[in-house]
Chain A
Amino acid sequence: MQLNPAILCEDLSFSYNRYPVVEKVNVTVNERDFVSVVGPNGGGKTTLLKLMLGLLHPSSGRVRIFGKQPEEARPRIGYMPQHAHLDPQFPVSVMDVVLMGRIGHTRRFGPYTRADRECAEEALTELHMWEYRGTHFSALSGGQRQRVLIARALASQPDLLLLDEPTASLDLAVETELYELLRSFAERLTVVVVSHDIGFVSHYVTKVICVKRNVVVHPTSEITGEIINELYGSPMRMVRHNHSQ
Chain B
Amino acid sequence: MHLFLRDLFQHDFLQYALLTGILASVSCGVIGSFVVVRRITYLAGGIAHSVLGGLGAALYVQKSYDWPAFDPLYGAIAAALIAALIIGMVSMRAREREDTVIGALWAVGMAMGVLFISQTPGYSTDLMSYLFGSILMVSPQELWLLVALDVLVLVTAIVFYNQFVAVSFDDEFALLRGLRVEVYYLLLLCLTALTVVVLVTVVGIIMVIALLTLPAAIAGFFSRSLHHMMALAAILCVLFTTSGLVLSYGPNYPAGATTIVVAGAVYLAVLIGKRVLNPGH
Contacts and interface: CB of A to CB of B under 8 A. Distances in A.
A164 to B, nearest CB: 11
B97 interface: no
Nearest to A107: B162
Interface residues of B, number: 27
5 contacts: A74-B176, A100-B169, A103-B178, A109-B159, A136-B224
Contacts of B161: 111
Contacts of A111: 161-162
A92 B166 CA distance: 10
Interface of A: 53, 55, 74-75, 77, 79, 81, 85-87, 89-93, 96-97, 99-101, 103-104, 106, 109-112, 134, 136, 152, 156
Interface in B32-52: 37, 39
A89 B220 contact: yes
B225 interface: yes
Given A87-B37, A103-B177, A111-B162, A55 B225 contact: no
B174 interface: yes
B169 A92 contact: yes
Given A109-B159, A136-B224, 14 more contacts: A53-B176, A55-B175, A79-B173, A85-B172, A89-B220, A92-B165, A93-B225, A96-B165, A96-B225, A97-B169, A99-B162, A100-B162, A103-B177, A111-B161
B163 A109 contact: yes
Contact of B223 (A74, A91, A104): A91
B2 to A, nearest CB: 39
B216 to A, nearest CB: 10
A136 B37 CA distance: 14
B25 interface: no
A16 B28 CA distance: 42
Contacts of A75: 178
Nearest to A108: B163
B8 interface: no
Binding site secondary structure of chain A: loop
Binding site secondary structure of chain B: helix
A74 B177 contact: yes
A101 B37 CA distance: 20
B96 interface: no
Contact of A101 (B177, B179, B226, B228): B177
A156 B225 CA distance: 21
Contacts, number: 78
Contacts of B175: 55
A91 B173 contact: no
Contacts of B179: 103-104
Contact of B174 (A100, A109, A110, A112): A100
B173 A81 contact: yes
Interface string B153-167: 000000111110110
B224 A91 contact: yes
A42 B258 CA distance: 54
Interface in B211-231: 220, 223-226, 228-229
A100 B226 CA distance: 14
B184 to A, nearest CB: 11
B220 A91 contact: yes
B166 A103 contact: yes
Interface in B59-106: none
A86 B170 contact: yes
Contacts of B173: 79, 81, 100, 152
A96, A100, A112 — most chain B CB neighbours (10 Å): A100
Contacts of B178: 74-75, 103-104
Contacts of A134: 224
A81 B224 contact: no
A87 B38 CA distance: 9
B134 interface: no
Nearest to B175: A55
Given A90-B168, A100-B165, A79 B176 contact: yes
Contacts of A99: 162
Given A86-B170, A87-B37, A93 B163 contact: no
Contacts of A53: 176
A53 B165 CA distance: 22
Contact of B159 (A85, A91, A110, A152): A110
A245 to B, nearest CB: 37
A111 to B, nearest CB: 7
B177 A92 contact: no
A112 B225 contact: no
A47 to B, nearest CB: 14
